[in-house]
Amino acid sequence: MSAPTKHRSAEEIGRTALGPRPFPELGEQRAAADMETVDTTLANGLRVIAVRRSSVPMVEVRLRIPFGDPASSSVGSTHSARAEVLANTILTGTATRSRVDVDTELALVGGELDAVVDPERLAFSGNALMSGFDTVLDVLRDVLTGATYPAGEVERERARLVERIRLARSQPNVIAREALQRHLYGDHPFAKEMPEADEVAAVSQEDVRALHSTAVLPRGSVIVVVGDMEPDAAVRAVEGALGGWTGEGTAVTLSPLPVVQGGDVVLVHRPGAVQSQIRLAGRGLVRTDERYPAMQLANLVYGGFFSSRLVENIREDKGYTYSARSHSEFTPGGATLLVDADTASEVTAAALLETRYELGRMGLVPPSESEVDTARRYAIGSLLTATSSQGGLASFLMNLAGLGLDIEWFTGHPRRLAAVTVEQVAAVALEFFAPTAFTGVLVGDADLLAPQLRALGGVTLP
Amino acid sequence: MALPELHRFTLPNGLRVVLAPDRSAPVVGVSVHYDVGFRSEPEGRTGFAHLFEHLMFQGSESLEKLAHFRHVQSSGGTFNGSTHPDYTDYYQVLPSAALERALFLEADRMRAPKITEENLRNQIDVVKEEIRLNVLNRPYGGFPWILLPPVLFQTFPNAHNGYGDFTDLENATVDDCAAFFDTYYAPGNAVLTVAGDFDPEGAKALVEKHFGDVPARPVPVRPSFAEAAPKGEIRAEHTDKHAPMPAIALGYRIPDPVTEVDAYLSYLVLAGVLTDGDGSRLQQRLVHQDAIVVDVGAGCGLFGPLEARDPDTFSITAIHPPEITSEQVIAAVDEELLRLAEEGPSEQELAKVTARWVSTMHREHDRLTSRTLGLGSAELLFGQAELLYELPAKLAAVTTDEVAAAAKALRPDARAVLLLKPAQSVEENETAQTADGGTE
């Protein structure tokens, strides 16, 4: 490399006359300001959580409508396809606003509003300059109570959805996620995150309108507002805009999932892949379980952050992966532990071996005092940084609300984490991180992977 | 918009420091931006700046391998680094009690990083996995940031792949790393930014304590990367074996953001008029009216606006169904650009773009990570951290005539056209999908 004429060697660079220096102690931590907050339910059944955060003159709005498939199986159900078309067209027309009107009005107040759907919920996410709060609420009111689903918009979005689904299904992580969900949950509607193209093509304007009238319901839904305003005033504004949103019954929550059982990993063939997706899953714990804080720390120690056993082993020691992680996913009525790693084909079997080895080690060589303390301080600190912005706080509170939890859970969580003992973490690690408790899928080029995976065992080959 | 408080000073060793106190939440962000990115890599060492970024996390005189991560995370913090065309950044965001620790960590690796053969080999493997994940194994991987520059630019610094090719990465040596560090990672070639919950006087003392004895070294003279704009339309094709549909990227040259910032910003407004929101020109025309693309986007800079010095790129990208020809898409884009050039946008179109930028900037400032990094990169690239806060007003001052002029300058006879082709025909692709469905 065209180096300068003279430079120090790496050894010379790595030392100074003074030598290593002591690492500073932590300073005094200032507490976060108490949050002014209101959590209430309107007469129409809509729960409203409003929090004041004045860091910037903005407001963040999140609305969550439970949107489960009332059928117990996705086989023969058109719910997923109708829900997807609904989410993609609900903001495209009302009696008084066209699609462009909606975008223009929001843009002029520095605002945005989006709708997305998954097997559990229909979610609106928006923001605007504080001065545009009423505009965002009025657009929300208009679409919730009077979306018209113009025929032309339904037709175009349907065609576009088919293309977008095709694009999504070419992504390795999407291929892996769909295979994993099917493997874990079979025909349960939770597993169907994306409809098939032919199902989408069959959705009519009338189907979408019918779904709106039966499923877009205030009762069971929750709206979170975080911004530079008095929480009481925010609630009054929400009530003024959405108090007239009514409907028969309660928004539909999904039925509980079958519990994840340990078993073989299923190899899914992706011809020509140069990298594989390893996706393992085991049973987790819900946030309200008294062992959850210990589970959270055990997960961090295993693969939940960079300073974890899994990342230090398969990335920083062996260079098998750029990204490896484990995390809890909260599901209807339960929770799942997920382990993800993407590795080159040549080292996939070796990475799977190490991933399982670290699972086994969690129970047999349980987390040490110092591992637990590192995880604990990270858990408490990252909760603080992740919720220090309006948008971060709004999204976090929305997720909690979806699990039936409130702001008290959030403010009380650092205390619960502080109380966890090393023994409690060890107990959770032995029970939940046992390799035998996990199953999963592996997506990659089977022609390259099969000989080593066959030798390793515990993998079902195609 | 009220301008937040900003302090700046320079240490005797040349390190420039920006302090941006804000006591609204008890968290603090610390970043260091070094004035070297992948445009400075020599031939035969593509990807080196990014590989070196990985090595800066691998230990120092005071800290063993892995200690950096553990110290940040056990202080409750998060961290990362990234390599751009013209700079490399490192950051930590932590509870404010850990401010001194963050400064210690950045100073320690600025003073004496430990670069070893073992860590170099390990991180070459990790970087190769990163490239497999983000480019080689993924549909549209590297589109357009890796694929468009070699069409638009002719010189190696501007045209080459910043992620690097595997052979070049494997050929990197420990001595290359030592030379790179000594040349580019001098304190006088860096900007330290501290944003969030701290007292400015106390923070200044801590900065002096930890960075004050990092020895000064000569700062390299930054070469000019200037090169002439294309003389005609330059076309290239790229085959992507994972992509299910074709895609197009159009690349144009834009004014120097350092010397002609106002002219540059008219292109930023133009990008908003073209593709921001359902009512924007290209969304309306290509997605909703003609229905010939799945998605379309436009913007300044392949890493985002104001992320690079001259020469920078304006790009328009679209993914379209195989039944639509690339010529149909390009012709529709050119028609819309011509219309904008002749008639100009309406005042309301500009008002929409401006209002959305005001709120975008507020939201970026509210996220401590983006505020810290934004202040640092603006100070490094433009000598002007305030630019971040002044941007909404500057964008609001852009006129309809200026946007029309920007649209007019996006000429078909001075641009790059990259056509991304799927490897399979439509029919084969559908067969393959069915087969996949069966196996899963």
pLDDT digits (tens, 9 = 90+) for B166-203: 999 999 999 999 999 999 999 999 999 999 999 999 99
- The sheet carrying A265-269 orders its strands as A321-331, A334-344, A275-283, A439-444, A265-269, A459-460
How many folded domains does chain B comprise? 2
Q: Tell me how far CA of residue B87 lies from CA of B348, B373, B398, in angstroms.
A: 36, 11, 28
Per-residue model confidence (pLDDT) at position A6: 85
What is the band of B3 on the pLDDT scale with cuts at 50, 70, 90?
A: low
Together in a domain, B313 and B344: yes
What is the band of B435 on the pLDDT scale with cuts at 50, 70, 90?
A: very low
Interface test with A, best of B24, B60, B74 (most A CBs within 10 A): B74
| A127: β partners | A60, A112
Span A301-310, average pLDDT = 97
CB contact under 8 A, A55 and B352: no
Q: How far apart are CA B347 and CA A49, in angstroms?
A: 37
Which chain A residue has its CA at the smallest distance from B96's CA? A29
Give yes or no for residue A306 having a pLDDT over 80: yes
Interface test with B, best of A322, A373, A413 (most B CBs within 10 A): A322
* 8 Å CB contact between A196 and A84: no
User: At which residue do the structure tokens 């983000």 appear?
Assistant: B134
CB contact under 8 A, A389 and B367: yes
Distance to chain A for B232, nearest Cα, Å: 33
Round the average pLDDT of chain B to a whole number and report it: 94
3-state secondary structure of A429: helix
The total of other beta-carbon atoms located within 10 Å of residue B177's CB is 24
What is the band of B437 on the pLDDT scale with cuts at 50, 70, 90?
A: very low
Of the candidates B26, B133, B368, the beta carbon closest to that of A30 is on: B26
Together in a domain, B165 and B252: no
Together in a domain, B382 and B352: yes
Per-residue model confidence (pLDDT) at position A28: 85
Is residue B227, in this structure, part of any structural domain at all? no
Per-residue model confidence (pLDDT) at position A31: 84
ipTM score for this prediction: 0.94
Taking only the tens place, the pLDDT of each residue in A51-68 is 999 989 999 999 999 999
Together in a domain, B166 and B243: no
Together in a domain, B98 and B168: yes
Which ranges in chain A are annotated with CATH 3.30.830.10?
37-243, 265-460
Distance to chain B for A152, nearest Cα, Å: 10
CB contact under 8 A, B183 and A7: yes
Which chain B residue has its CA at the smallest distance from A180's CA? B440
Is residue B346, in this structure, part of any structural domain at all? yes
Chosen domain end from B145, B178, B212: B212
CB contact under 8 A, B95 and A109: no
Together in a domain, B121 and B91: yes
Is residue B226, in this structure, part of any structural domain at all? no
Taking only the tens place, the pLDDT of each residue in A1-41 is 444 568 999 999 999 999 999 999 998 888 888 889 999 99
CB contact under 8 A, A129 and B61: no
Please tell me the class of the A265-460 domain.
Answer: alpha beta
Helix (H) or strand (E) holding A125: strand A121-129
Q: Tell me how far CA of residue A126 lies from CA of A457, B291, B326, in angstroms.
A: 48, 26, 34
| B89: β partners | B33, B82
* 8 Å CB contact between B92 and B30: yes
Span B328-346, average pLDDT = 98
What sign does the CA torsion over B180, B183, B184, B186 have?
A: positive
Together in a domain, B148 and B249: no
Which chain A residue has its CA at the smallest distance from B221's CA? A4
Rg (alpha carbons) of chain A, rounded to whole number: 25
Chain B contact set for A128 (CB, 8 A): 359
CB contact under 8 A, B176 and A103: no
Per-residue model confidence (pLDDT) at position B24: 87
Of the candidates A26, A28, A110, the beta carbon closest to that of B101 is on: A26
Record the tokens describing residue B192, joined without a space. Answer: 């330290």
Together in a domain, B153 and B277: no
Together in a domain, B189 and B125: yes
Q: How far apart are CA A434 and CA A357, in angstroms?
A: 10
Per-residue model confidence (pLDDT) at position B2: 52
Give yes or no for residue A291 having a pLDDT over 70: yes
3-state secondary structure of B7: strand
Give yes or no for residue B434 having a pLDDT over 90: no
Taking only the tens place, the pLDDT of each residue in B364-400 is 999 999 999 999 999 999 999 999 999 999 999 999 9
Together in a domain, B163 and B237: no
Taking only the tens place, the pLDDT of each residue in A394-432 is 999 999 999 999 999 999 999 999 999 999 999 999 999
Identify the domain containing residue B76 by its residue range.
7-212
Distance to chain A for B423, nearest Cα, Å: 12
Is residue B142, in this structure, part of any structural domain at all? yes
Together in a domain, B80 and B205: yes
Which chain B residue has its CA at the smallest distance from A273's CA? B137
Is residue B435, in this structure, part of any structural domain at all? no
Is residue B223, in this structure, part of any structural domain at all? no
For A13-32, letters b (16+ CB in 10 Å) and e give: bbebeeeebeebebbebeeb
DSSP A383: H
Chosen domain end from B212, B243, B268: B212
Which one of 3.40.50.920, 3.30.830.10, 2.60.120.650, 1.10.150.120 gives the CATH number of domain A37-243? 3.30.830.10
Of the candidates B60, B276, B368, the beta carbon closest to that of A388 is on: B368
CA proximity to A255, closest of A119, A135, A163: A119
Distance to chain B for A23, nearest Cα, Å: 7
Is residue B228, in this structure, part of any structural domain at all? no
Together in a domain, B189 and B298: no
Q: Where residue B135 sits, what CATH number does that domain have?
A: 3.30.830.10
Give yes or no for residue B424 having a pLDDT over 90: no
Is residue B224, in this structure, part of any structural domain at all? no
Taking only the tens place, the pLDDT of each residue in A63-86 is 999 999 999 999 999 999 999 999
Give yes or no for residue A393 having a pLDDT over 50: yes
What is the band of B97 on the pLDDT scale with cuts at 50, 70, 90?
A: very high
